[in-house]
Amino acid sequence: MTPVLAGTYVILSDLSVTAVPAEMKGLMNAMLDQLVPVEADQLISALVADFKQKAQNKEQLDPLGFEKNQDTKRQMLEKIQQNLAILDGKATPEEKAAFNGWLVGLAQATAEAGREGGFLGI
């Protein structure tokens, strides 16, 4: 699932005990609440519906599907690129552009949810 991969990539980019829970929550909230572009409504709605169903069934999300080691981030990026290549063949240019914008918004919301600074991260 590309959105979860993108958010997880952001989380792994700067692991912090205080930021990880907030970033995970930010990713989930962004997936459920972020404005969906009209051009990619069907695609994103299907992804979000699948995500909601898995959450209701309390399924463990393991978007990685590969060995977790020091190369994990590189492997995640490759998997995201593979998924987006599949989208190239199945979506219109407008759908792809809208999906990519939505995906960047998820990554940004994830990163912003874990902002740290000031005294004790406040």
Please say if the pLDDT value at position 29 is more than 60: yes
Inform me whether the pLDDT recorded for 17 exceeds 80: no
Domain for residue 34, yes or no? Answer: yes
The residue segments making up the domain with residue 34 are: 2-115
Q: What is the pLDDT of residue 48?
A: 78
Is the model's pLDDT at 121 over the cut of 60? no
Please check whether residue 110 is in contact with residue 27, taking contact to mean a CB–CB distance below 8 angstroms: yes
DSSP per-residue codes, 18-72? THHHHHHHHHHHHHHHSPPPGGGHHHHHHHHHHHHHHHHTT-------S--STTH
Number of domains within the chain: 1
Is 1 strand, coil or helix?
Answer: coil
At 50-61, the pLDDT tens digits run: 777 777 777 655
**Is 64 within the bounds of a domain?**
yes
pLDDT, position 24: 84
- Indicate whether 121 belongs to any domain: no
0.85 cut: is pTM over it? no
For residue 122, being part of any structural domain is answered with no
Q: What is the mean pLDDT of the chain?
A: 79
H/E stretch holding 117 reads: none
* Band of pLDDT at residue 122, cut at 50, 70 and 90: low
- Residue 98 is predicted with a pLDDT of 92
- Residue 120 belongs to some domain of the structure: no
